[in-house]
Structure 1
Amino acid sequence: MPSPPYPVNADGCHPDKGWTQRQAAAWLVQEESPTGEVGFVRSTAGFNGPLCEPLTVQVQFWRLTYRSAAGAQARGSTGSAPDYSFTMAAMKHVQLRVDGRRDVVVTPPKGYYSSHPSPCVGGLVAFYTGGPLTEKELPSRIVSGDSLLTFDSADFHTNRVIDSKLSSPSDPAVCDADGKPTRPTSAPSFPAGALLPTPSYPPIRLNPTHT
């Protein structure tokens, strides 16, 4: 029988003092929810923990308001997806201590998820190790996937982010500089009063980085 990847010691836990961010990310087991919940799964005793020292994990949700960049249609023969500029407003930030002794679930803020997405407003959730992200670590570029081979992605300026997920608007290409649709769309808007930023995190205007 193969040895467990994280064997426990005499105290019934796996020593993790001094772990790097890479080691912490490899150990974390996260469950995705289609409604925006972020969960961390209880470990299996003797196989992957529990850990002797809890890990500090941050979970953060943002509202994104898109406006299309100039010529924001798919470009070139490869059909590469367009870049979008956007405003970013924090909605919820939770700091956790995770050691694998129980399941942990973080619910999204009210209005973050909608089964009827807005044409110009979407969301972003990320979880990461260490302290809260600084402004310089936040993403400045979003590529909106528009084919089976291209997926939505947000480029964070740090390797601390273990995983992130975009909740894309339904039709960002029709949005003007104020994040409003420029022509009729069949997609309903987000509920009124939803997706409001928290007072401690003012909106940040970012511009896409082109390479």
Structure 2
Amino acid sequence: MQRTQTRFRHGALTAGAAVLALLAAGCAKVSAGTQAGDCRDDGDWSGRQEAAWLRTAVAFHRPADGAGPSYEEASVVVRPPRTGDVRVLCRPLDVQVEFWTLTARATGPELSFVLRYGLSADGSRTRTVAFPSSLATGQDATCTRGLVAAYAGRPLAGGELPRVTGDLAAAGDADVRFGTERIGGHRLLPARDSARCDANRSKPGPAPTGSAGWDIYHP
């Protein structure tokens, strides 16, 4: 009889331990699920998806101030998204904010690197990057404009760098092309000396090398 009671107690204890283990495992899963539900899973995002998120988070404050004597009030702001899924990202994104100058040349706009600033963003706080004062006005009466872009991931490689199609003086944001889908946003800044760009546009083209009519000495 005593052996039977001992076996019963042992079985009850074993069953109780198993129930407690299952409950603990269940609670752990619920806790993990709750933590995962508090943030937005971005572990498998492509460059295009990262750019789409960044597009809702990046803003360019007062870029038109570049037309004045300095960019003192202009900045790029990466803030928590205000539309769509506004949860914090589970894995912060590497974000690059990069500045260039574009100078009008006979062969087309010439791109020059100015500054690149790297930061981490997950939508939990606001990050602000001021425009560099070294965005040049151009030399030798050339038409020069600034360009700024915010993009996800590593710094741009050679084939991903921006280019401007058409006349630099008249170009807008839509005329800037990048060789990558990682761009969250960009701005082509106004010339700080618009007279130089206007002068470049008003220059007459080269005179034709030959006459369209017959030469008087033509046989």
| Same fold, judged at TM 0.5 (above) | yes
Q: Please state how far the C-alpha of 1:134 moved relative to its aligned partner.
A: 1.1
TM-score scaled by length of structure 2: 0.58
2:151 to 84, 107, 128: 128
Alignment-derived partner of residue 86 in structure 1: 109
Alignment of 1:35-54 (within 5 A): 35=63, 36-43=74-81, 47-54=85-92
Instruction: Quote the Cα distance in structure 1 between the aligned partners of 2:155 and 2:169.
Output: 31
Give 1:39 shift.
0.7
SS at match of 2:50: helix
**Looking at both structures, which has the greater relative contact order when contacts are Cα pairs under 8 Å and sequence separation is at least 6?**
1
Hey, what does 1:97 align to over in structure 2? Answer: 120
Aligned-partner SS, 1:10: helix
Q: Shift of residue 47 of structure 1?
A: 4.7
Following superposition, the deviation at residue 107 of structure 1 comes to: 1.0
State the identity as a percent. Answer: 31
1:24 matched to 2:54 = no
Match of 2:151, SS state, is strand
- Equivalent in the alignment of 2:34: 10
- Tell whether 2:200 aligns with 1:175: yes
Q: SS at the partner of 1:175?
A: helix
For the 8 Å contact 1:67–1:173, the answer to whether it is kept is no
Q: 1:158 aligns with which of 166, 169, 180?
A: 180
Q: Which runs of 5+ in 1 are unaligned?
A: 1-8, 70-84, 184-211
The structural deviation recorded for 1:67 is 2.9
In the TM superposition, what is the alpha-carbon distance from 1:141 to its structure 2 partner?
Answer: 3.1
Q: 1:77: which partner in 2?
A: none
Contact 2:136 2:144 (C-alpha < 8 Å) held by counterparts: no
Q: Provide the TM-score with structure 1 as the length reference.
A: 0.59
| Alpha-carbon contact 1:37-1:105 (below 8 Å) kept | yes
Stretches of structure 2 that go unaligned for 5 or more consecutive residues are 1-32, 64-73, 205-219
